[in-house]
Amino acid sequence: MTLNNDLDKIIEDEFEKAFEILEEIIEYIKRKYGIDYKIPELEISRGRHSFAAGYSKSENKIIFFKETIKMAINNYLKYLSYKEKNKRSIDKLLKRLDYKKIIGSRQNSIKYLEYTEFFEGKINLFKKYIEVVNKLLKSLGYKEIKGIEYLNRSHNSILLFPFYVNKRNIREAIAEVIILLAIFHEIWHSIDDSILDKLKEDPTIKDRDYLIAILNNLNNRELRASVFEVVMYYLDKGVRGYMAAYVNVLTCRKYIEKIDIMKRNIYMNIRVPFDLGRCYGNIIIAKYKSSLKENIYKIIDDIIYLDEKRAIEAIKYYGDNPDKLLQD
């Protein structure tokens, strides 16, 4: 399948809609935290990057990379591998993996082989995991939710991410998910930069030193932006995937047990803050459920003071006490 709509138009439309959704939230942040926030410009690049989009503070631009988005769409189609046609695509991809192209030294080769073996195992695990979760959702009364598929939004584990497909082009549906998540992620980076600028110029702000320390840590920034992307995605799309979020929290608890190992691996370590942020975001979704909108300002304040240490503590707590999420 090909994209029925031009990718540029999807990016432009989602960018515009995102700021319409965020208008009141941004005004709240500007008013409460006294920041001088200016909406970033949009730039669309034909090039390729490590991520679908990036924020440039010097230019105040959010830049999207079309080739990266196209690659991500194809990868996500492969992750929907519980369907037979996608299973064949994954098997074909794995057979084509050429380790020799990556070898620069024996040490790098071993690391790459370990990472690739992990990736292959994760695909196979995902196939089984998605079947279990589908059964769980149906057993909990989610049979009426038609047209929902799940993407895996973790590089080091499995985090289910629901999205509506209905009868639309699957590539368009996935493109919108990728683009919207990237927009919210990069917007939070622009908000964090504005907060940091305000903290540097105003020594009277409460908890100033604590907040500066958080924001000067790149991992904390990626974690916070990842929380925001999850929260705003659910708020925008209104996806009834709360039980999937609940299941994700249990997965995240196991993730924490392996975090030290992952941080020692060059390929996994870079993704850890993103995964932790999405884990924390899933806690918020599972906790607030349909009351997400009415609690959004409380959630925003929570994200602004969030760092990795507190995120891990929350993941451990709710992972060990999942009933608390069902009661709240």
133-137, 238-242, 297-301: range with highest mean pLDDT: 297-301
User: For position 146, what pLDDT does the model report?
Assistant: 57
Count the neighbouring beta carbons within 10 Å of the beta carbon of residue 117.
Answer: 10
Q: Please give the average per-residue pLDDT across 67-84, as a whole number.
A: 74
Residue 186 pLDDT greater than 60, yes or no: yes
**Which stretch of DSSP H or E encloses residue 298?**
helix 296-304
Q: Residue 61: which pLDDT band, with cuts at 50, 70 and 90?
A: very high
For residue range 307-322, what is the model confidence (pLDDT) as tens digits? 999 999 999 999 999 8
**Which stretch of DSSP H or E encloses residue 55?**
strand 53-56
- Percent of the chain with pLDDT strictly greater than 90: 54
- Percent of the chain with pLDDT strictly greater than 70: 74
Q: Residue 123: which pLDDT band, with cuts at 50, 70 and 90?
A: low
For residue range 223-233, what is the model confidence (pLDDT) as tens digits? 999 999 999 99
110 against 181, higher pLDDT: 181
DSSP class of residue 305 equals T
Residue 87 pLDDT greater than 60, yes or no: no
Q: Is 273 exposed, middle or buried (0-12, 13-18, 19+ CB in 10 A)?
A: buried
User: For position 39, what pLDDT does the model report?
Assistant: 97
100 against 301, higher pLDDT: 301
Q: Please give the average per-residue pLDDT across 116-142, as a whole number.
A: 53
The full length of the chain comes to 328
Which has the closest alpha carbon to 244: 129, 127, 144, 82? 129
Residue 119 pLDDT greater than 90, yes or no: no
How far is residue 190's CA from residue 196's CA, in Å, rounded to a whole number?
10
Residue 145 pLDDT greater than 60, yes or no: no
Tell me, rounded to whole angstroms, the distance of Cα 200 from its chain centroid.
Answer: 29
Q: Residue 75: which pLDDT band, with cuts at 50, 70 and 90?
A: confident
Q: Residue 139: which pLDDT band, with cuts at 50, 70 and 90?
A: low
Torsion sign (Cα): 279, 306, 223, 56: positive
User: For position 275, what pLDDT does the model report?
Assistant: 95
Count the neighbouring beta carbons within 10 Å of the beta carbon of residue 150.
Answer: 22
Q: Please give the average per-residue pLDDT across 146-153, as a whole number.
A: 70
Q: Residue 86: which pLDDT band, with cuts at 50, 70 and 90?
A: very low
In the block, residue with structure tokens 């009364």: 141
Q: Residue 128: which pLDDT band, with cuts at 50, 70 and 90?
A: low
How far is residue 83's CA from residue 85's CA, in Å, rounded to a whole number?
6
How far is residue 88's CA from residue 105's CA, in Å, rounded to a whole number?
32
For residue range 1-18, what is the model confidence (pLDDT) as tens digits? 556 558 999 999 999 999
User: For position 67, what pLDDT does the model report?
Assistant: 93
Which amino acid would we find at residue 257? E
How far is residue 148's CA from residue 238's CA, in Å, rounded to a whole number?
12
User: For position 303, what pLDDT does the model report?
Assistant: 98
Average pLDDT score, the chain:
81
Report residue 272 as tokens. Answer: 């850890």
Long-range (24+ apart) CB contacts under 8 A made by 308-313 are: 308/217, 308/219, 308/220, 308/223, 308/273, 308/276, 311/223, 311/227, 311/276, 311/277, 311/279, 311/280, 312/256, 312/259, 312/276
How far is residue 244's CA from residue 130's CA, in Å, rounded to a whole number?
10
User: For position 205, what pLDDT does the model report?
Assistant: 92
Taking the domains of the chain in order of start, what are their residue ranges? 7-96+144-327
For residue range 17-58, what is the model confidence (pLDDT) as tens digits? 999 999 999 999 999 999 999 999 999 999 889 899 999 999
Count the neighbouring beta carbons within 10 Å of the beta carbon of residue 323.
Answer: 8
Residue 104 pLDDT greater than 50, yes or no: no
Cross-strand pairs, 160: 152
